[in-house]
Each structure stands twice: as structure tokens, then as C-alpha cells.
Amino acid sequence: MFEKTGRFVHLISFRDDQPHELRGALIPQSVKVAEKARAESRLFTVATVVGVPLAIFLLVGMAAVASYSFLRKEPAQLAAPIVSIVDPNGADKVALGYGPQEAFSQDAFFGKTRDALIDQSVSFIEVDLDAKTLRYFDKGVLAVSADINAVGEEGSWWDAPSGLYKVEKKDEKEFSTVAQVYFPWAITFEGNYAIHGQPVYPDDRAVADDFKAGGVRIDTAAAEKLFNVATEGMAVLVHKKPKSPSESFVYEPAVTGVTAPYYLIADIDNGSVLAASDLNTEVPIASLTKLMTAVVAAEKLNLDTRVEVTSPTFVESLIPRLKDRTNVSMYSLMQLLLVESSNEAAEVIAGQYGRDKFIEEMNGKAKQLGMLSSKFVDPSGLGPENASTLGDLFRLSQYIHNNRQFIFDITANGSIPTIEGFNEFADLQNFNQVKNDDSFVGGKVGETMAAGKTSVSLHKIQIQGSDRTVIIILLGSANRTDDVHTLLDYVQEHFKH
């Protein structure tokens, strides 16, 4: 049963007939109950996995009351829809606002959300990356339909994951300083994601078919038509199935015995833990914090821009780079952040969004990824209160590996292979490399008095005749290099046959 009273929304569970209230939010129920309720009323639907009621999407275009302090608020723009996600055991609640949402990768959830928006005559853009179709609904009526000709390279910052977004800006001919092309009739949502027509070089030559940069590319005529009807604040619903993990490779049972205080080595593709200590001990993580900083920057800020630099006076970096700079590209800041672990870059990046709001987004993303034992108090990792667990860091690393691979590419190579020529700092020193190891393919290091030496590193090695990518996470290590080699030797010894 669904009813609305004042500023409260009540969802009465048929299981116990007890009403639950939460200002500006809906309390979800089981799939079975949801289906029964949906048969009685088409005003709302419920997600099949996370139990998120979709009635909240009827509030798109209306101001919602923020129930959690980490929700993003911007003046003169539509407030994010708010919903509480409650697990089956009634534990933690997470606010669902605009941004990537894994639940939308489910066909049923995505379809029900779209149907709910149509039923309520909402104007929105539907982007189905699996079906390669884009559609615009004008007050629930299909007005524009187009094939998707190309999408952002998987793992790049243009690669839009499933989620609910809103149109942030429009540009008839947006120029990318990184790709050195124009994107005609560009409609930008969530900072780095965009819908546009066929990209062209400054001399009006069309890009090649294998051009990697850019977002959701449709026919230029269709892009112009969509551009003319899309408005800022309009909802954009994106569906993309998650990357399927490899299940064909099976490990023997893991054997413990590594001496590092907190360690984990696992296959990052199929999730098999080969050896680990306590996965749930919460300890300081130092500059591993910057991996979350990079994720939030990639999902909340436009990395294809230049920004003014006011070098923070309250942090120092081992290699100061920004003191004499008046402006710098966001992409170069990401390089400094990830390659040289620049604390200055971390603060400048956070400052572009608003430092306090950026830190709220870091903690919000952690909850969204299920990192329930992690806490972030600054974007650099200097504070000893920046803490996490082996299990949580494994979740974060898998998310980056599957959805934001360009972050690990930068940590390994200093740049992204598709845009190698763009580098404002040509003499970067990569702190992440492992001495006397040629299997390293990405990762991040950190070190503070509170955390000791910390490390996340990915290695491509041969196991049982197959190339596998294993991840090593170290917390509180006294000798990072020795620990990495010890764990790699351990895996080779126990799993090589």
C-alpha cells in the first residue's frame, strides 16, 4: 500500500502491516511483497536485489528533503531523488541520489524504473548501452529514438556506468583538450559522461571508426534533435550490464602462512582469495585513500578541463609541483595524484568540488560499494583517521579494475595509453613500481607514521599455464618490496601446477 501524507511517504509492509516512516524516503520491502503491491498500484515498483522502491522516481523534478548529509546539493538545480536502501536484515541505510547505481544494471530494475517514469509522464533520456539504443521521452511519450554508434572505451573516464543522472550542461560544439576533437551537440551528464554526435577534428575531418575517446555517440542529426529538446536538470537513465567475472579458472584451496601483518593476495577477476590475514581489521591506510579520491574525481568532475591552482598551504608533497602554477589540467592533477602521490593535487582536486562535499562523496561512494568499515577524512590520506580493511580495499580495487581501469593505467604507466601525448609533467617519478619486478600492472602505495607502509598492487603472472591478474594488498608493512615478492613467490609455489 502506498500513501503520501504531508512531507512523509508511507510504505506499509504486507508482512507485518506496520507503517515505517522516514522523511523524504521510502522503506523498501521484499520482492514478493513488492510484486503484490505493484499489482494493486502502478505508482511504484521495487528492485529485485537491493529492495529499492521506485516510487521515489515519481519525485524527479520536485525538491526532495535530504535525509543524509553526504547528498550533493546545488543551488538552482533539481535536488537528487532520495531513497533508503535497507538490507534484508534491516541494517545500514544508504541514500540513493544521482550518480552510478549498480541496481540499474539489472534488466528488471531498469525496465521497471523506465516504465514508472513513462507512467508518470516524466521527460527523460534513456540510454541502454546493451541494446545500443537511445530514446527521449517527452512527458512519457517517445519523441526521439537513435542507435548508439559508439561508447566511451571500457574503463575510461567517459565510460558511463549504470545509474540515474541529470543533464548538467549543453554545448553545440564542445572541444576536448585531451582528445583534440570537437564533439557536436554535446549533452553532458555527471561531469565526464556525454551524449554527442560524430566527433570531428578542428579541420572538420571525421574521426576514424576506431576512435577511442568520447561518450555515447549517436548520429549527428539525431544528436542535434535531442540537443534541442533536452534541458538542464533532465533525468538520464543509463543501463549497462556489469562485466561478467571469469569463472572458468579454479584455484586449489588457499594456504595461509605469509608473515606480513595485514595482507591479501587474490585473483582480481574471479575473486578467489589465495592467501590473507584478517580481512576485517580496520587500520589506517595512508595514501591508498587517493584511490577513492581518483574514483570520486572521475565520477563527479570533468577531467577534460583546466582549473585555477591555489596551492594548499596546509599540505606538503614529496615532490612539490603546483607552487608556481596558476592553472593546470584536471588530467595532469590525476597524474600527480596517482603517480607521485601528490597531497597538493589531492587538495586541489577536492577543492574543485568543495572540499567538505568531496569528502562526503568519498564516504558515500564507500557505502555504495559496500565498504562499510571504511572512513575518509581528507582526500590525501594524511589523517590517521583515514581507515579501511583488506576486504573493503579489495572491493574498491575490483570496482576500479572493472569500471575505472584508466586509474590503474595511470598508476602503472604515468598516463593513459590512448592519450599518451598529453603530459604537462614529463619527468614524473612513479612511486608505485615494485623493484625487481616486471609483473606490475598498476597500484598505489602509501606511508605515514600511523599506517606504516601500505600498498595495493596488481601483477600479471602465469598460473597453471594461464595469464592471471592477481592483487596484493599490504597494510602496516615494514618492507613493502620484500612482502610483495614473498607473496608472489608463495602463489607461484602453491599454484603453478
Neighbours of 466 (CB within 10 A): 10
Domain ranges in the chain are: 2-97, 124-239, 262-417+428-495
Assigned superfamily of 262-417+428-495: DD-peptidase/beta-lactamase superfamily (3.40.710.10)
State the pLDDT confidence band at 417, using cuts at 50, 70 and 90.
low
Please tell me what DSSP assigns to residue 375: B
296 vs 118, which has greater pLDDT? 296
Does 262-417+428-495 match 124-239 at the fold level? no
Distance CA 218, CA 133 (A): 9
Q: What is the largest CA-CA distance in the chain?
A: 67
What is the model's pLDDT at position 128? 94
> Rounded mean pLDDT of 469-491?
92
What is the model's pLDDT at position 247? 53
* Whether pLDDT at 221 is above 50: yes
> Rounded mean pLDDT of 437-461?
94
What is the model's pLDDT at position 139? 92
What is the model's pLDDT at position 63? 29
Helices 405-413 + 330-339 axis angle, to 10: 70
Listed residue (236, 339, 357) closest to 296, CA to CA:
357
Claim: this prediction has a pTM higher than 0.75:
no
pLDDT more than 70, % of the chain: 75
Listed residue (360, 340, 336) closest to 348, CA to CA:
336
Distance CA 493, CA 497 (A): 8
Cβ atoms of residues 215 and 196 within 8 Å = yes
474 vs 278, which has greater pLDDT? 474
> Rounded mean pLDDT of 23-38?
34
Cβ atoms of residues 106 and 48 within 8 Å = yes
What is the model's pLDDT at position 246? 53
Q: Which of 52-56, 181-185, 218-222 has the lowest mean pLDDT?
A: 52-56
* Whether pLDDT at 238 is above 80: yes
Q: Which of 104-118, 265-279, 460-474 has the lowest mean pLDDT?
A: 104-118
* Whether pLDDT at 39 is above 90: no
Phi, psi (rounded to 5 degrees) for 58: -70, -15
How does 42-78 read in b/e, with b if 16+ C-beta sit within 10 Å? ebbbbbbebbbbbbbbbbbbeebebebebbbeeeeeb
DSSP E strand boundaries for 207-322 = 216-218, 235-239, 262-267, 273-276, 283-284, 306-308
Q: Which of 53-62, 151-160, 276-285 has the lowest mean pLDDT?
A: 53-62
Give the H/E segment covering residue 496: none
Distance CA 403, CA 318 (A): 30
Residue 157 identity: W
Residue 205 identity: R
Neighbours of 25 (CB within 10 A): 27
SS3 content of the chain, % helix, strand, coil (to 5): 25, 25, 45
Neighbours of 432 (CB within 10 A): 21
What is the model's pLDDT at position 266? 92
Cβ atoms of residues 433 and 459 within 8 Å = no
Neighbours of 396 (CB within 10 A): 23
Give the H/E segment covering residue 246: none
247-254: long-range pairs with CB below 8 Å, 24+: 249/464, 249/466, 249/468, 251/495, 252/494, 252/495
* Whether pLDDT at 277 is above 50: yes
State the pLDDT confidence band at 258, using cuts at 50, 70 and 90.
low
The four Cα atoms 415, 473, 364, 321 give a dihedral, to 10 degrees, of: -40
Neighbours of 126 (CB within 10 A): 22
334-392 per-position pLDDT tens digit? 999 999 999 999 999 999 999 999 999 999 999 888 898 999 999 999 999 999 999 99
Q: Among 2.40.440.10, 1.10.1040.10, 3.50.50.60, 2.40.160.40, name the CATH number for the domain at 124-239.
A: 2.40.440.10
243 vs 307, which has greater pLDDT? 307
Rounded to a whole number of angstroms, the CA Rg of the chain reads 23
State the pLDDT confidence band at 248, using cuts at 50, 70 and 90.
low
Cβ atoms of residues 97 and 122 within 8 Å = no
Distance CA 68, CA 96 (A): 10
